[in-house]
Amino acid sequence: MRTMIFGKTGQVAGELASITWPEGSSVVQLARADCDIADSGAVSRAVHRIRPDAIVNAAAYTAVDRAESEPNVAHRLNRDAPAAMARACAEVGAFLIHLSSDYVFNGLKQGAYVEDDPIAPLSVYGRTKSEGETAVRSEIERHVILRTSWVFASHGNNFVRTMLRLAAEREEIRVVNDQRGTPTAARDIASAIASIIASIAQGRSAWGTFHFASGEATTWHDFARAILDASGLRANLIAITTADYETAARRPMNSVLDCGRIAREYGIDQPVWRQALATVLAELRGSLDPGSGAST
């Protein structure tokens, strides 16, 4: 099984580079310098040159607030690029795994979102991700769209690294306590992707949209508390409402994902985010500056 991965520096892309792939796998990972995914012609040429069995799209525009002022860039990377990948994928007979987001939902549902729930994004980012999903579905039948949420890792821009940096800089940190979701480690997402590819290679395929996220829903405030407690940091954590914290983009108040389908079809269970958090914090303790590169 020859797998081609778009993306090399993002959180999930970085973990895809470090996980152990099944025996017999061949993995080719492309950074932006290798292929600019904003150029559909470059995407097509890269796919036709490598001619993979599977393509993973781990590249995206993920700056949620900045997308409000850069909608054209977000659309090129989150809608047009996946469309080009899906077209090229179909042309060479490969299948596509495309990462998407909980932000395609508006957060008004009381319970966990299932795959068939209506999408209604609140932000440019969410809208471009939902349009990317539509583009993939229209271009290729053999696809797996994997929606996930609240991604964190020991590298990249994410909530864990931001909290550690702020705790080192401030005596008080204000975090919203009325948005619920499920933190998900990038390494767990990468492992799920590898497992799906292995299943398909063995003839056990299920196409369509799937949710994959950790179990145990929480709020941003309570996630921050878990981060600080596990790190032994003592910053004063203040719970605030979404209305108290103005951002350019609106976030869903509830983005909890029901992950029953991926368990039934691929045998992939929800990981425990507290265990993954402990691993990430241990990795960060070994670095000189655990908060470098994080953003508020």
Q: Is 245 an active-site residue?
A: no
Helix (H) or strand (E) holding 218: strand 218-219
Average pLDDT over residues 173-192: 97
- Fill in the amino acid letter for 153: A
Q: What is the pLDDT of residue 288?
A: 43
Q: What is the pLDDT of residue 292?
A: 38
> Which has more pLDDT, 21 or 270?
270
Given the residues 103, 125, 245, 266, select the one marked as catalytic.
125
Percent of the chain with pLDDT strictly greater than 70: 97
* Residues 6 or more apart whose Cβ sits within 8 Å of residue 260: 114
294 has pLDDT over 70: no
Q: What is the pLDDT of residue 234?
A: 85
Q: Where are the alpha helices (DSSP H) in the chain?
A: 11-18, 40-50, 71-75, 81-92, 124-139, 159-169, 186-201, 220-231, 260-266, 273-285
The mean pLDDT of the chain is 94
pLDDT in tens, 220-256: 999 999 999 999 998 999 999 999 999 999 999 999 9
207 has pLDDT over 50: yes
d(Cα 191, Cα 172) in Å, to the nearest integer?
36
CA-to-CA dists, residue 86 to 101, 111, 134, 137, 225, angstroms: 18, 32, 11, 8, 41
pLDDT in tens, 119-172: 999 999 999 999 999 999 999 999 999 999 999 999 999 999 999 999 999 989
Residue 125 near residue 189 (C-beta atoms within 8 A): no
Q: What is the pLDDT of residue 23?
A: 80
Number of residues that make up the chain: 296
Q: What is the pLDDT of residue 285?
A: 87
DSSP string, 97-133: EEEEEGGGS-S--SSPBPTTSPP--SSHHHHHHHHHH
d(Cα 161, Cα 154) in Å, to the nearest integer?
7
* 3-state secondary structure (DSSP) of residue 62: coil
Record: fold of 2-157+182-216+255-273: Rossmann fold (3.40.50)
pLDDT in tens, 88-113: 999 999 999 999 999 999 999 999 99
* pLDDT band, very low/low/confident/very high, at 296 (cuts 50, 70, 90): very low
Q: What is the pLDDT of residue 277?
A: 97
